[in-house]
Structure 1
Amino acid sequence: MIDSRPAQTDAEDHVILVEPDGSPRGFAPRATVHSRETPLHLAFSCYVIREDARVLLTRRALTKRTWPGVWTNSFCGHPRRGESFAEAIARHAQHELGMRVRTPEEALPDFRYRAVDASGIVENEICPVFLAVADGEAAPNPAEVMDLRWVAPAELASLVELSPWTLSPWTASQVPQLRGILERVPASAP
C-alpha cells in the first residue's frame, strides 16, 4: 500500500516513491515496497575505494530477500525524507559495513534500472551511483554482508565481462559505465 502522506519521523524506515522524471510522489514502508510490482523509488549505490585504489565488493547475506549470496558493489540503500544522499551514504556505510566513508562523489547521477530476482521480486529504482573513500576498516553486519573483498578496478571490470551472472544486475550494469572513474577517486580525496 502506498502512503502519500509525509513520513511521521525521519527514523521511520521508508522509501521515497518517484515519478519517471524523478519527482517525488509519496512514501512507502521499505519492508513492503519490494514485491512483484515494485513501484519506482529512489535509491543509491556506493562503491567504496581505499587509498590504494582497490574497490570494496561485498557478498550479500544469504538472508537478504533479493539476490542472496550474490557479489555486489560496496553497499546500496534508500535515502529517507529530508536526508541528503551524503547522510544516507554515511548511515548505510555504518549499518552495513561498520565503517565510515568520506568524500562521497556522484559518479552516475542518472543511473536507473529495473531487474527481477529469481524469486520474482522486482527492483525498480532511480539509483544515482556514488564513489566514496574508505575511512577505516570494514566490520560487516552479518545480516547484510556475508563476505567482502578489495579488488583492483581492472579485476572488477574483468569479472563483469567474464561472469556477470556472479554479480548483482545493477553492479554488472554500473561497472562498465564507471570505467576510468574508479581509479581517480582516491587521488581526488583530501
Structure 2
Amino acid sequence: MTATREQVVLLSDDGKPIGTAPKSEVHHLDTPLHLAFSCYVLDDAGRLLVTRRAWSKTTWPGAWTNSCCGHPAPGEAVEDAVRRRLRQELGLEVTDLRPVLPDFRYRAVMDDGVVENEVCPVYVARCPDPASLAPDPDEVTEHEWVPWARFREDALSGGRDVSPWCRLQLDVLPPVL
C-alpha cells in the first residue's frame, strides 16, 4: 500500500482556497501562500506547553515554538486539523479549543532562503491531563511546561529564541490567555 502524501491548501492573496499541493513541495525559496494553524496549549495551572521542533523539520528545525503547528488537509475544518495534529504530534486530547487570532498571516525567511508564507489562524486549548503528553520524536525533540507570562516575557525580550511565527503571534496575543 502506498502512503498518501500530505496535501496543503493553497490560497489566493485574499485568503480564498485556489488548489492544493503536496506539503513536501511547498516550502522552498518561493513558497506559495497556504493555510496553516498554530495552537497554544495551557494546563489548568496556566502553564504553556512549549515545544522544540525536531531537527529533521524542513522549516526552522530545532526552534522552540508554541505547542503545535500544522496544516489542515483539503476539506478539513481548521479546528479538526488542530485536534488531529495535537493527537498525532503530542498524544493530547484538549478541551476549550478556541480561536484567538483567526486572521493571523505571516511570511518568514530562513537563513538558507526557505520561506514560510501562511494564513495561520491561532488557537488556544486546555490540556486537562498534562501527564498524557507523548511527543512524536519526528515532530518534537524537546518540550517543557512554562508559565504563560514568563514564556511571553522571555520571548518578547529576546531571552528565549523562538520561531518567527511564534514571536509575531506573541506581539499581538493578550498578556492573559
Equivalent residue for 1:20? 13
Q: Give the SS at the match of 1:166.
A: coil
**Residue in structure 1 matched with residue 22 of structure 2 by the alignment:** 29
- Conserved? CA contact 1:99–1:135, under 8 Å: no
What displacement does 1:175 show?
Answer: 1.3
Alpha-carbon distance in 2 for matches of 1:157, 1:13 = 32
Q: Which residue does the alignment assign to 1:38?
A: 31
Structure 2 portions without partners, runs of 5+ = none
1:171 partner amino acid: C
Using structure 2 for the length normalisation, give the TM-score: 0.92
Equivalent in the alignment of 1:71: 64
2:173 and 2:159 mapped to 1: Cα distance? 15
Root-mean-square deviation (Å): 1.4
Residue 174 of structure 1 is matched in structure 2 by 169
- 8 A Cα contact 1:157 1:176, kept in partner: no
Aligned to 1:4: none
Secondary structure of 1:159's aligned partner: helix
Aligned to 1:95: 88
Q: Give how far 1:165 is off.
A: 6.9
Contact 2:72 2:78 in 1 (8 A): yes
Q: SS of the counterpart of 1:27?
A: strand
1:159 and 2:154 correspond: yes
Structure 2 residue aligned with 1:3: none
CA shift in 2, pair 1:164/1:44, >3 Å: farther
Structure 2 Cα separation of the partners of residues 181 and 154 of structure 1? 7
CA contact (8 A) 1:57 1:72 kept: yes
CA distance in 2, matches of 1:145, 1:97: 8
Distance between the aligned counterparts of 2:159 and 2:150, measured in 1? Answer: 13
Identity of aligned residues (%): 47
In 2, the alpha carbon distance for the partners of 1:52 and 1:135 equals 10
Aligned to 2:112: 119
1:147 partner letter? E
Going from structure 1 to structure 2, the CA distance change for 1:42 and 1:157 (only over 3 Å counts) comes to same
Residue in 2 aligned with 1:186?
Answer: none
- Aligned residue identity for 2:15: G
Dislocated runs of 4+, deviation >3 Å: none
Post-superposition offset of 1:12: 4.8
Amino acid at match of 1:93: L
